[in-house]
Structure 1
Amino acid sequence: MRRLSTCMAFWLALAGTAPAADHRTGRDKVLADAESRLKSIYEKRDFAPTTFPGKWLADSSGYWVLEPSKPGAEPEVVKYDATNGKRSVLIGADQLVVPGSKQRLFVQRCFQTPVEHTFCLEARTGNWLFDSKSGDLQKLPAEVPAGLSAGAFSPRVDRIVVRRGRNLAVVDAATGRVTPLTSDDDRGQLDNYAPTWSPDGRRVAYVQSDSTKVRTRPVLRPTDPTYPEVAHVPFARVGTPIPTLRVGVVDHQGGTTRWVKLPADPGTCYINDISWAGNSTELLIELLSRSRDNRKFLLANVESGEVATAYEETDPAWVDASYSANAGLEWIRDGKEFVLLSERDGWRQAYVLSRDGKQRTLLTKDKSDIIARGPVDEQGGWFYYLASPKNATQRYLYRIRLDGKSDPERVTPADQPGTHSYDFSPDRKWAFHTYSTFDKPPVVDLVRLSGHHSERVLEANEEVRSRATPLITRPTEFLKLDIGNGAVMDAWMIKPRDFDETRKYPVFVFVYGEPHGQTVLDDWAGGQNHSMFHRMIADLGYLVVSMDGRGTPAPKGAAWRRAVYGSLGPLSTEEQAAGVKALGRTRSYVDLSRVGIWGWSGGGSNTLNAMFRKPDVYHVGIAVAPKPRPELYNAWFQEIFMRTPDVNPDGYRKAAAINFAEGLKGDLLIVHGTGETNTHLQITESLVDRLIELGKRFDYMAYPNRDHGLREGKGTAVHLRMLMTRYLIDHLPPGPR
């Protein structure tokens, strides 16, 4: 009765009337307003910022965009001078005419090829090459598919490497002659890897994947619902065989592939990257062990067959955890040295190494992390990178001398807190600079890196700002929560529009809590793009909170990130609950008797763990696309952090939410898509069966044929958020007490 009376009182107050008959009217009005706001977010995309479409010209003199000369006109390729902003036409609409006819090309996509004055134009009539020097327009053969990238073209743009089914071929740009490069239909190309041309254009390197030992799982194809088709898709589950990868090099005219002799047994490694090592005879291969505890950079001579190790490192937990911040290297000094990121000394730092790996210079000596690599300005003697040594929720540009004899310099102005990203010109003198905070949409300007001088604004996103400003009546509050044992969690809190600090509010926690991402970031996309949804929830009368504990990829050192090694779930559950309690201790307006939690994917798993293991802390949970049994998840992700059940059975037992389902006391909603290709539906349905067996009360919503993002189908995004909103209101009544 306490819950019913509280809910009634809230809706009566919201409706501004006393009679009980008006309770439903007030509730329906609030839900109608919520739905309208959700449609604005997810269907009209009113708060999605516009990204700047410009691309740097190879000579750094300016940038080009595909835009019409006037409203309603066909697009043309236009250049803007970097120094003065002068607009000039590179490829005019009058030049985009099929030779020998009056038919105009309607260009849908455009990019610069390896030859800087040649552009590839993707039109409704196929692919075309345009030479901006001569004005020549050349139709590419029909064998060249749509969706090309610059890397598909040979260095002289006379040949294109294409996929034909499960094989590779080269198409002659002038004659259309097709030369098969591979013919093994049982071992197709791995989609993650693009074939790469040697600098002299004579060879193509590629990665081949053999999945014959990988078990397949049946997947229903939504054709005729009475007789759906069944496809069998390879799925490398934890502890089972993974694809066997090998690296091959083949002549552009076809022939026998030369296979690189990798120093690893078949099916025991992953390949992070392949590229030509500054010449046409050596390949650079980044090789990772299956559990990512070993990382090698190999130099493979494709003529002699010799393979040398340029660099190797190991870690008891993992060397690389798919953050992509560590991946790859950059050659400097004519290929004699390279710049590499590594966490070998406890922090993600930059090193310069000799080609043979014997000489190593540490560039960034402070005890702080590089968040992501930037480019090398070899002429100026700088290495650029993103970091934020004092605030893990923000991102700034830094640079440091390549000789390692100076301290880091912050390039981003000190008076611009928040998150910054940069798209550098090829000569490293200019950049498209994007700047946003959690409460302010991104602004893109052109900066001269010398002095970080802003030349002009390229995209202000004024419309997004004007729509968002009336809804952001209170700035998002960023917090630091000391939960003991040396752990201080970053958090943010969104308060209701009519917040009254003398009263107590229910708390709704948004959690992810796994090594794949942070939720507490001070940028417009902070909170994994759920921020405007969370503002709507807050205005209903909730404190919406998110916290990042240990194990999330925050720039707080390797020990912070690796604290979860062995078992994903237990530590996050403890620290999230400790964070909620810390909020209650330090803020009198937090009502610890009314706490809800929700999350997606890994966040869905953490929501289940919270509801099962901490039933006295959390009263309502919404788990979207969770993975309650990690031993049934994919090998590529789970084995990094927990190895396999054979070697770590206790870690898997402690991580699996299903093993603690008997602890459920509160209200739980589980949401899943039946077309899942990531956290498969059957994994969640085994939890559903367990809850039924235990006689637990819960709610379950399955969206037909939707995948992990639950985006498919008209109205799905809004329907899901309305489902969550109704569930929250009905089971965790909003409003202060």
Structure 2
Amino acid sequence: MKQLHRLLSALALLCLLFPATAQQSINWNKGGSDYTTLEANQIVRINPITGQKDVVIAKNLLTPKGANDELKVRSYSFSEDNQKVLIYTNTKRVWRYDTKGDYWILDLKTNQLSQLGKGFDASSLMFAKISPDSKSVAYVYKNNIYAENIATHKITSLTKDGTKKLINGTFDWAYEEEFSCRDGFRWSPDSKSIAYWQIDANTIRDFYMINNTDSVYSKIVPVEYPKAGQTPSSCRIGVVLLATSQTKWMKLPGATNNNYIPKMEWVPNTNKLIIQQLNRKQNVSTLFIAEAQTAATTAIYKETDEAWVEFNNRSGESVGWDWLDNGKSFLWISEKDGWNHAYKITLDGKEQLLTPGDFDVIDILSYSEQNNKMYYTASPDNPRQRYLFSTTLDGQGKSVRITPMTQSGTHSYEISPDQKMAFHSFNSSQISRMSEVVNLPDHSVAGGKEGIEAKLSKVRLAQRPIDFFDIPIEGGVKLSAWMVKPVNFDSTKKYPVVFYVYTEPAGATTKDEYYTGRNNLYQGDMGKDGYIYVSIDGRGTPLPKGRAWRKAIYRKIGQINIADQAAGASYLLKRPYMDSSRVAVWGWSGGGSTTLNLLFQYPQIYKTGIAVAAVGNQLTYDNIYQERYMGLPQENKEDFVNGSPITHAKNLQGHLLYIHGTGDDNVHYQNAEMLLNELIKYNKQFEFMAYPNRSHGISEGEGTSKHLSTLYTNYLRKYCPPGGK
């Protein structure tokens, strides 16, 4: 349900930080004086101050012997000794991302290019990684883990029991979607063993999607998918020795199918693992140290919450651990005191708060024991924005804002390992992406070039009258909102209002970013056509406004968030220039669910709704997401029922356009059919569009995006006519 938000966020960040030709993030060298990146399918080294570029790996080195064309590089990584480069190419999508492909090794001493996994199917290897001693590469093939000697290309099967549902070294659908877990194995520091996840989904029922278009006979597309209330797949951590291919399973407490393991890494310079275990309700998080040789485990740190405990202490995928003191302590983020803060945790469980105060740490970006400094993002005064701050790692310093006060908006940074420089990008609702290289900690422009501050004096602001404001509602709650008024707005006229919604814990819509206030589904300019466009973030959305704000929604998705939206809309619709007879609402995924609930529960407010890929019945969605925020159906099923749109479908009075892809592996098409049945039962008239074999993003197939946009635009204009009256 949150896939679309993650994808858009990732794409936006990539566009902000790097040119359109880049295919992966920059790779700083260990000293931090320069970095490598991809340009025109070559790996180049760039001095960030002078801009000087040197080709490290030219196209001719990427051309296999006997081939006419070079490999099309999707990403690359260097070995620890910097003598070898791992090339990822010929990629193929698995669920959401291109995580299968071919891997090649380029030896920089001999310039020899050789393919890994010869004899295996094309585009079938996953997550290849060079060992710390630079002698081997490990990868996943058909849910088994293999190690390949780089010099001899001898391939050793480290696991042999992998099947479609017994998964070694990677994850099932639910783990990938809900924990951002994809890469499921880790090399030991001494390169002698590999720790890995094993997911046993044999007890998970398949959900069947039907492909009716690629043949005259239909094709069943099964997805192992644990619905809310269903027992999770079993999960355990094993350590396999390369010398023997024998696995030892770590002895974690509790049933393997009643707990989750979202994070696991090796403790530096040891033969120990650190493992995060969540109970099924996800309200207890325990960190364990596991002895790889004996498999014994010891709990070192536990956190509980009346609602849920966030599973990942860093944004993005669950890869990596932030180690300090040569592996004796680490950084951890927790909201245990009511705010998201950074802590230093020792291996014996002692903790030290590093960022005290009534504000949320958004993310840790960089830390250096040598400099006694940690950089992180936060925005204590405006939850819509993001700025760079620093503090000390010894817990004695105060938080200091590094981003200039004159640059109001959203900031992103890629900080060098020595913390002396950073790629800095800035944007806001009115200012498109700007970038520069800055010195740290003074944030001065590196290399004497024109920086963002100088550019701001000459920039042309976006010609969009977007206003950010708060809406007070009952209980002293303030909702975050924005509004875009029509071009040539006349306060004496009444205009139609279109609300864009999401409202669930996976995404926020009111951030101060350049794409905020735009509607990419609408053909034309909503402002010029005479629409007022509005979005509101209520309680439960992941804004940096504290734990109480975010977790007020626990067990009340479809209720509290819906009531907040309606209260915000009622407050705004008192304004004389808003036409209460022309009020529309639309959203995608969780926003589609919100659209349905608003249209059904508050028909006196919302007259027209366009819901895309919506969850109509919360009991149809996956257990990890739905149970995290709603509890277990076995204990409080009434909350799932009360929050589901199908429960309220009988109240439809306005105009509804419902859209869903029949190949949606995320929010299954069954949601559409369940909802249609309920609407039919009560003789509720509506319009419906099914996109054959399209997934959650409804983007596959020639002409799809244009058709969807045309459908959306025509329906909105017909039932919520534009223009002031």
TM (normalized to structure 1)?
0.86
Query: Residue type matched to 1:566 in 2?
Result: R
8 Å contact kept, 2:124–2:141:
no
1:568 equivalent to 2:568? Answer no
Q: Work out the CA distance in 1 between the residues paired with 2:61 and 2:622.
A: 51
3-state DSSP of counterpart to 1:550 = coil
Give the CA RMSD over aligned residues. 2.9
Aligned counterpart, 2:54: 88
Q: Work out the CA distance in 2 between the residues paired with 1:169 and 1:676.
A: 32
Q: Work out the CA distance in 1 between the residues paired with 2:583 and 2:399.
A: 44
Q: CA deviation at 1:720?
A: 1.1
Aligned counterpart, 1:51: 18
108, 111, 116: which one pairs with 2:73? 108
Q: Work out the CA distance in 2 between the residues paired with 1:607 and 1:525.
A: 21
8 Å contact kept, 2:127–2:140:
no
3-state DSSP of counterpart to 2:167 = coil
Q: Work out the CA distance in 2 between the residues paired with 1:91 and 1:711.
A: 35
Q: Work out the CA distance in 1 between the residues paired with 2:193 and 2:203.
A: 30
Aligned counterpart, 1:694: 682
Aligned counterpart, 1:235: 225
Q: Structure 1, residues 432-463: CA drift from partner, whole Å, max 9, x if none?
A: 212111232222322222211222699999xx
8 Å contact kept, 2:521–2:712:
no
Q: Within 5 A, what are the aligned runs for 1:136-535?
A: 136-143=111-118, 152-186=129-163, 187-189=166-168, 190-191=170-171, 192-222=182-212, 224-320=214-310, 325=315, 329-357=321-349, 359-455=350-446, 472-526=462-516, 530=519, 533=522
Distance 1:384 1:505, change over 3 A: same
8 Å contact kept, 1:525–1:531:
no
Q: Work out the CA distance in 1 between the residues paired with 2:72 and 2:605.
A: 57
Q: Work out the CA distance in 2 between the residues paired with 1:408 and 1:429.
A: 18
1:552 equivalent to 2:517? Answer no
Q: Work out the CA distance in 1 between the residues paired with 2:126 and 2:353.
A: 35
Q: CA deviation at 1:573?
A: 1.4
8 Å contact kept, 1:113–1:157:
no
Aligned counterpart, 1:65: 37
Aligned counterpart, 2:607: 619
Distance 1:558 1:275, change over 3 A: same
Query: Residue type matched to 1:331 in 2?
Result: W
8 Å contact kept, 1:338–1:353:
yes
8 Å contact kept, 1:275–1:283:
yes
Aligned counterpart, 1:13: none
Q: Structure 1, residues 20-70: CA drift from partner, whole Å, max 9, x if none?
A: xxxxxxxxxxxxxxxxxxxxx9xxx9x9768343432233220123335xx
Q: Work out the CA distance in 2 between the residues paired with 1:532 and 1:445.
A: 32
Gap runs ≥5 in structure 2: 1-7, 91-100, 172-181
Q: CA deviation at 1:324?
A: 5.2
3-state DSSP of counterpart to 1:446 = strand
Distance 1:636 1:454, change over 3 A: same
Q: Work out the CA distance in 2 between the residues paired with 1:419 and 1:352.
A: 27
8 Å contact kept, 2:262–2:312:
no
8 Å contact kept, 2:277–2:287:
yes
Q: CA deviation at 1:536?
A: 2.3
TM (normalized to structure 2)?
0.87
Query: Residue type matched to 1:616 in 2?
Result: Q
Distance 1:456 1:549, change over 3 A: farther
3-state DSSP of counterpart to 2:474 = coil
1:605 equivalent to 2:582? Answer no
Distance 1:457 1:157, change over 3 A: farther
Distance 1:324 1:292, change over 3 A: farther
Q: Work out the CA distance in 2 between the residues paired with 1:544 and 1:553.
A: 22
Query: Residue type matched to 2:697 in 1?
Result: G
8 Å contact kept, 1:181–1:253:
no
Q: Structure 1, residues 574-628: CA drift from partner, whole Å, max 9, x if none?
A: 111111122233x432222221100111111111111111011111011111111
3-state DSSP of counterpart to 1:578 = helix
Query: Residue type matched to 1:661 in 2?
Result: A
Aligned counterpart, 2:571: 582
Query: Residue type matched to 1:251 in 2?
Result: L
Q: CA deviation at 1:97?
A: 6.2
8 Å contact kept, 1:55–1:63:
yes
Q: CA deviation at 1:664?
A: 1.0
Q: CA deviation at 1:225?
A: 3.7
Gap runs ≥5 in structure 1: 1-40, 69-74
Aligned counterpart, 2:43: 77
Relative to structure 2, which stretch is displaced further, 489-498 or 120-129?
Answer: 120-129
8 Å contact kept, 1:505–1:734:
yes
Q: Work out the CA distance in 2 between the residues paired with 1:146 and 1:446.
A: 37
8 Å contact kept, 1:446–1:457:
no
Q: Work out the CA distance in 1 between the residues paired with 2:352 and 2:547.
A: 20
8 Å contact kept, 2:555–2:629:
yes
3-state DSSP of counterpart to 2:327 = coil
Aligned counterpart, 1:656: 644
Query: Residue type matched to 1:485 in 2?
Result: G
Q: Work out the CA distance in 2 between the residues paired with 1:321 and 1:543.
A: 38
Q: Structure 1, residues 501-542: CA drift from partner, whole Å, max 9, x if none?
A: 222211000000001110111112446x84684982332211
Q: Work out the CA distance in 2 between the residues paired with 1:173 and 1:531.
A: 48
8 Å contact kept, 2:235–2:256:
yes
Distance 1:51 1:419, change over 3 A: same
Relative to structure 2, which stretch is displaced further, 602-611 or 417-426?
Answer: 417-426
3-state DSSP of counterpart to 1:647 = helix
Relative to structure 2, which stretch is displaced further, 497-506 or 593-602?
Answer: 497-506
8 Å contact kept, 2:285–2:311:
no
Distance 1:126 1:723, change over 3 A: closer
Distance 1:109 1:236, change over 3 A: closer
- Identity %, equivalent residues: 35
Q: Work out the CA distance in 2 between the residues paired with 1:432 and 1:686.
A: 49
Q: CA deviation at 1:473?
A: 2.5
Query: Residue type matched to 2:79 in 1?
Result: P
8 Å contact kept, 2:423–2:436:
yes
Q: CA deviation at 1:122?
A: 4.8
Q: Work out the CA distance in 1 between the residues paired with 2:156 and 2:522.
A: 52
Q: Work out the CA distance in 2 between the residues paired with 1:222 and 1:256.
A: 45
8 Å contact kept, 2:423–2:435:
yes
Aligned counterpart, 1:31: none
Q: CA deviation at 1:102?
A: 9.8
Q: CA deviation at 1:260?
A: 0.4
